């Protein structure tokens, strides 16, 4: 089973890129983030034409997540409220950032974690509250099914080797100690990094800023992750970053990350 994650930075703007990639890399599930389109306008037909179904949760111009799968998924739900209840979640589900479904007994959770904007800002506080809610959400999912794969754009580089130049990381969004601690708290539920199982060294990134020739100079960050619960971590056969889509004209600033499970 192969599952990929990709922040496409607008599925309609990058539609040809995504269809081409799936045609060349027919993964079982592709988890998309930043689809930036309301559900009625999601471009279903091109994906159906190549054999994929879609589960979507979108909003206009911002955020949005989707699961593209070769086989229909079971137990699909969007947002935290479906698991934790609306009273606990409050307004966090107004932004469409969470969608999940089950394939062959594997609970796949697709996330677009808030960026946080700047340390000390309202958006930073929102990000930390969102991560705290995510921890409770995943704990509840694990209680129902021990086979959980969590992937997506986490907007956090967990280790210094995940950043081309970690100088000043303590005051930089996506690498501050508090963000890292929040993510470590989530991983303490039992999740492990699939990519680091196979690639312990630095220099591998999944996001490059559009500015300053960052991609050409490989001045990137690894912020797109697959985290696996213990049974799935044992089944992981490969995990890799496919940089080819980032080389295309007008690409997303992110590129796909794929994990392969022995199932």
Q: What is the pLDDT of residue 142?
A: 98
How many domains does the chain fold into?
A: 1
112 classed as catalytic: yes
Residue numbers of the domain that contains 147: 2-261
153, 162, 193, 224: the catalytic one is 153
Kindly report the average pLDDT of the chain as a whole number: 98
Q: What mean pLDDT comes out for the span 79-99?
A: 97
- Tokens representing residue 256 in the block: 């796909």
Q: What is the pLDDT of residue 186?
A: 98
- Render the burial of 236-253: b for 16+ CB within 10 Å, e for the rest: beebbbbbebbeeeebbb
Global confidence as pTM: 0.98
**How does pLDDT run across 96-130, given as a tens digit for each residue?**
999 999 999 999 999 999 999 999 999 999 999 99
pLDDT band of residue 176 (cuts 50, 70, 90) is: very high
Q: What mean pLDDT comes out for the span 239-262?
A: 98
Q: What is the pLDDT of residue 116?
A: 98
Q: What is the pLDDT of residue 154?
A: 98
- Tokens representing residue 206 in the block: 């999944």
52, 112, 124, 227: the catalytic one is 112
98, containing H or E segment: strand 98-103
- Render the burial of 40-59: b for 16+ CB within 10 Å, e for the rest: eebebeebeeeebebbbbbb
153 classed as catalytic: yes
Q: What mean pLDDT comes out for the span 231-254?
A: 98
218, containing H or E segment: none
**How does pLDDT run across 2-35, given as a tens digit for each residue?**
999 999 999 999 999 999 999 999 999 999 999 9
Longest dimension (CA), the chain: 47
Residue 196: give its domain's CATH number: 3.60.10.10
**How does pLDDT run across 38-68, given as a tens digit for each residue?**
999 999 999 999 999 999 999 999 999 999 9
pLDDT band of residue 88 (cuts 50, 70, 90) is: very high
């Amino acid at each position: 089973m192969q599952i990929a994650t990709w922040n496409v930075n607008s599925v309609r703007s990058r539609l040809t890129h995504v269809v081409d990639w799936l045609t060349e890399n027919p993964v079982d599930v592709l988890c998309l983030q930043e689809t930036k389109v309301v559900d009625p306008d999601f471009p279903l037909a091109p994906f159906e034409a190549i054999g994929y179904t879609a589960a979507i949760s979108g909003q206009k111009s911002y955020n949005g997540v989707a699961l593209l799968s070769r086989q229909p998924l079971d137990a699909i739900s969007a947002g935290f409220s479906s698991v934790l209840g609306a009273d606990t979640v409050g307004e966090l589900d107004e932004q469409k950032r969470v969608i999940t479904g089950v394939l062959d007994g594997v609970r796949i959770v697709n996330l677009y974690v808030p960026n946080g904007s700047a340390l000390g800002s309202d958006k930073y506080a929102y990000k930390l509250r969102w991560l705290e809610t995510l921890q409770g959400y995943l704990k509840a999912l694990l209680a129902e099914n021990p086979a959980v794969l969590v992937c997506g754009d986490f907007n956090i580089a967990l280790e210094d080797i995940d950043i081309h130049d970690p100088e000043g990381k303590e005051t930089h969004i996506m690498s501050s100690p508090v963000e890292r601690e929040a993510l470590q708290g989530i991983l303490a539920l039992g999740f492990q990094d699939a990519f680091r199982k196979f690639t312990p060294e630095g220099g591998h990134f999944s996001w490059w800023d559009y500015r300053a020739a960052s991609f050409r100079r490989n001045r990137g960050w690894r912020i797109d992750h697959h985290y696996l619960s213990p049974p799935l971590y044992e089944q992981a056969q490969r995990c890799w970053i496919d940089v080819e889509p980032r080389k295309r004209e007008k690409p997303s600033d992110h590129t796909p990350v794929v994990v392969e499970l022995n199932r």
